[in-house]
Structure 1
Amino acid sequence: MPTDAARLHRAAVIADAHNDLLMAVAVRPPEQWAGYFRARWLPQLRDGGVNLQILPVFPGRGAEPESALRRTLRMIEAAHRIAEGNADAVTLCRDAAEIDGALATGRIALVLALEGCAGLGSDVELFFTMYRLGVRVASLTHMGRTALADGSGEDAAGSGLTRAGIAAVAEMDRLGMLLDISHLGAGGVEHVLALSSGPVIATHSSARALREHHRNLTDTQLRGIATSGGVVCVNFFAPFLHESEHTIDKIVQHVEHIAGVIGIDHVGLGPDFIQEVTGDLTPLWSRGVIVEGIDPSACVPGLAGPAGLPLVTQALLRGGFSEQDTAKVLGGNVHALLRRVLKEAA
């Protein structure tokens, strides 16, 4: 790396808003959780300079609420054991002070997030249970339909939030949990922006103006998130960046577009590194299967995992972003958002 890029990457807060590594950890026996994280994932996070990691808890697609809840609790327990078994390197953070304390002592700040809430069903009171367990970010659905909302894959239904979904937004606002609109259907995004009293985040979504896919956000949706005071974190998943050109320059173009629409203060990174996780969880006989026209193993060369993040710093600087703006995109904006929302724990 050029000296200026390496220096900036070391000095900046590097925030990854979405890494599904918990899925790969929790599938192993509990006695291996902390050690596997230390051996396999901690070196990658260190090599990538990550010091603020939002950890999604995703129980998988298609599970019934009861089994999804069991998987959710297992993944949350895995996160706690990771933190307890690697206390010299990571901290599971519940509020802004704990995040800042971790950063100040050279540890990685981990923030738990529910992806999809499939295990909660319509029992909105369980958001407080999740909050007690350390969850501070949540999205209401994944690709499909939950008791709270429809995912972007259901956009043809044209639906907003359910009655339970409306109550969930109010409860998250009360608790001070950050609402994630990635994966939410178009009607749901509009509904959330009308209901929520605080900022929202898109933890891993790119620009639909550059790549027409229901998982990406329109310029109107981008403006709504910025108006709320939130942040849009660009997804690195190659098929969401371009139909065929899977290069790091495409990531820069999505950053440029989103910054051009809503301003540099509202852009972050949500890489969604899933190649290794997919490899861990997918049986050999089903690898290579195309899902919704997308190869789930596709990735931008050099960015199969967090160790490649310094390449993004280099690409942003090469693309004309100033050091100050690059630092905001790398993690400064996400850090600032979490500090605003995650005040003293309720």
Structure 2
Amino acid sequence: MRIDRRTMVLGGVAALAAAPGLARSRATAGPGWYDKAIVIDGLGGLADPYAPDGQLRLSDRAWADMVATGVTVLRDTVFPVGNLADPWGEYQKAVSGAQNIMAANPDRLILVRSAADILKAKRERKFGVVMGTQDSCMVGPELDRLAQLKKDGVMTVQLTYNNRNLSGDGALEPANAGLSKLGRATIERIEAEKLLLDLSHGGQRTMAEAAAQAKRPLVISHTAARALTDHPRNTDDATIKAVADKGGVTGVYFMPFLAADMKPSGEQLIAHIEHVARVAGEDHVGLGTDNGVLPLQFDEASKKKMDDWTRERIKLGIAAPGEAPGVYTMVEAYNSIDRYRRLAGDLAKRGWSEGRLEKLFGGNFLRVYKEAWGG
């Protein structure tokens, strides 16, 4: 299997007093709803930590673990990100590799191009994969390439990564210059192609201007609340609300940026989820872990791969503040195969009803996918 950050990334939370202002349902969730639900990770990683590098076929062990997670669909990333000499060429290699993985696992994986494909994955007990980019660098001024992305099976397009590209400023750009003229045209073409626009990694002004321009539902697939933790990868309340006002969804990640010390607790993850739910409304919050579907492995070889990858990100200038060797992209309390189930249980203890949990764990993303893509 290919290696990227989500390939490398793969104790419960104590019951807390309900957050002020967060509506509680009298009918909390009972056991059994999770297995029936559509569970969507709005941004994660398809990976097999047990297979040798380069193996396309999922190992039986990885497949068994993937089934055990209960996840129905995961959005996987088609690279590149950042300012490269030939981003289109790099994209072509990356999407070919992703297509080869799908072709090697027809009995296990479904390439998702519509909401109907998600329902099919659940019905057939397969794992749905949404392919998406985390940058528009491979498109640049050649907007016709967006039609080719869709033909390739790429269904979501993220406008920027952390740095500036031709569409706008990313989260790490100090100028915070917002959308470019090309960026506005790119959004129009993304929507015309019935692709899903993702604002993750955008600068504050870029995200605000993009949300204002959007005419269709959009997402911030993986972020957290800047009101709780002031980090450039987290999103301010006004933008979270603006995305909700367009019918979109903000996904909360399981990343170090949840906490100022880069060591987030389970309680902090829940605080961010509940804050976004309160600001956006329960119809506009989801989960986009930015983790691999399987838990992080802590053997020495795995830690070396993660640390080497972090050093490479720092060298390329795409690492966010706080990224460093030894800082791992996870919430330790939920670094387990059953993390989604346990998180659901912990939220149920806090009064979340089945209906609200079903929205958070996949229903809201499913709605936006259907509105963006059809089917």
Q: TM-score of the superposition, structure 2-length normalised?
A: 0.80
SS at match of 1:116: coil
Matched, 1:123 2:154: no
* Residue identity (%): 24
- The superposition leaves residues 145-194 of structure 1 with CA deviations (integer Å, 9 ceiling, x where unpaired) of 1111111111x313122222111101111111110011011111122122
Q: Does the 8 Å CA contact 1:22/1:55 hold for their aligned counterparts? A: no
Task: Report the AA paired with residue 293 of structure 1.
Answer: G
SS at match of 1:119: coil
Q: Which residue pairs with 2:214 in the alignment?
A: 196
Report the Cα distance in structure 2 between the residues aligned to 1:209 and 1:238, rounded to whole angstroms. Answer: 16
Task: Report the AA paired with residue 63 of structure 1.
Answer: L
Report the Cα distance in structure 1 between the residues aligned to 2:241 and 2:260, rounded to whole angstroms. Answer: 22
Greater Cα shift, 304-313 or 247-256: 304-313
Q: Does the 8 Å CA contact 1:90/1:108 hold for their aligned counterparts? A: yes
Within a 5 Å distance, the mapping from 1:152-301 to structure 2 comes to: 152-154=171-173, 156-243=174-261, 246-273=264-291, 280=305, 282-283=307-308, 286=311, 292-295=321-324, 296-301=327-332
Task: Report the AA paired with residue 226 of structure 1.
Answer: A
Task: Report the AA paired with residue 351 of structure 2.
Answer: G
Greater Cα shift, 168-177 or 269-278: 269-278
Within a 5 Å distance, the mapping from 1:84-103 to structure 2 comes to: 84-103=103-122
Cα 1:291–1:109 change in 2 (3 A) is: closer
Task: Report the AA paired with residue 266 of structure 1.
Answer: H
Deviation at 1:294, TM superposition (A): 3.1
SS at match of 1:58: coil
Report the Cα distance in structure 2 between the residues aligned to 1:23 and 1:203, rounded to whole angstroms. Answer: 23
Deviation at 1:315, TM superposition (A): 1.6
SS at match of 1:152: coil
- The superposition leaves residues 2-61 of structure 1 with CA deviations (integer Å, 9 ceiling, x where unpaired) of xx7652221221100111346989x943xx22x2x3457534432211101111223244
Q: Does the 8 Å CA contact 1:206/1:241 hold for their aligned counterparts? A: no
Structure with greater helix share of residues: 1
Q: Does the 8 Å CA contact 2:221/2:250 hold for their aligned counterparts? A: yes
Task: Report the AA paired with residue 319 of structure 1.
Answer: R
Counting matched residue pairs gives 334
**RMSD after superposition:** 2.9
- The superposition leaves residues 316-343 of structure 1 with CA deviations (integer Å, 9 ceiling, x where unpaired) of 1122211211121111111121122111
SS at match of 1:169: helix
Q: Does the 8 Å CA contact 2:77/2:133 hold for their aligned counterparts? A: yes
Deviation at 1:233, TM superposition (A): 0.5
Report the Cα distance in structure 1 between the residues aligned to 2:118 and 2:374, rounded to whole angstroms. Answer: 10
Greater Cα shift, 78-87 or 275-284: 275-284
Q: Which residue pairs with 1:308 in the alignment?
A: 339
Q: TM-score of the superposition, structure 1-length normalised?
A: 0.87
Report runs of 4+ in structure 1 exceeding 6 Å deviation. Answer: 22-25, 287-290
Q: Which runs of 5+ in 1 are unaligned?
A: none
